[in-house]
Structure 1
Amino acid sequence: MSKDEVFNKIADIIADRFEIDRDKITPQLNFKTDLDADSIDFVEFILELEDTFGAEISDEAAENLNTVGEAVDYIVANTDSK
């Protein structure tokens, strides 16, 4: 799966989960500041990423995912769907 495909899937999840216009989602979008996601929202989002991509995201790795771009890079680097 290409980086663009991963980005598009993550953007679709964010648009649906956080009720944000899909066109406003960029790699620089910050989960905590731009989406105003609380810890429960973020954990649910991480679980959805795990389900969608078949990836396991440790708590430590999740804490370091601040932007959409970082999430895309993590998924691409840590799944077999490259």
Structure 2
Amino acid sequence: MDKQQIFDEIQTALVNLFELSPEQIKPESKLFEELDLDSIDAVDLVVHLQKKIGKKVDPETFKAVRTVQDVVDSVDKLVNN
């Protein structure tokens, strides 16, 4: 799974889980400020991603993410390392 595929999966998840429009979701989009997610939304996203990639996402790692690209990079490290 390359970074574009990961971004596409995250974008789809954000659209389906939180009713965002795909146009709102860019790599530089800030999850909490621009996309208006809260901590419960972040947990929902982590659970969704864990199911999709089949690996456990460390909550401590995920606490540092601020943008969609941060999520892509974190998932990429899990999947491709």
Normalising by structure 1, report the TM-score. 0.87
Q: Cα RMSD between the aligned structures?
A: 1.5
Matched residues, percent identical? Answer: 27
Q: Does 1:12 align with 2:23?
A: no
Structure 2 residue aligned with 1:43: 43
Q: Secondary structure at the match of 1:57?
A: coil
Moved over 2 A (4+): none
For structure 2, the 5+ residue unaligned runs are: none
Q: Secondary structure at the match of 2:61?
A: helix
User: Deviations for 1:31-61, whole angstroms, at most 9, x for unmatched residues?
Assistant: 1111221211111111111111122111211
For structure 1, the 5+ residue unaligned runs are: none
| Superposition deviation, residue 30 in structure 1 | 1.3
Counterparts of 2:47 and 2:6 in 1: how far apart (Å)?
16
Structure 1 residue aligned with 2:3: 3
Normalising by structure 2, report the TM-score. 0.88
Q: Secondary structure at the match of 2:32?
A: coil
Structure 1 residue aligned with 2:63: 63
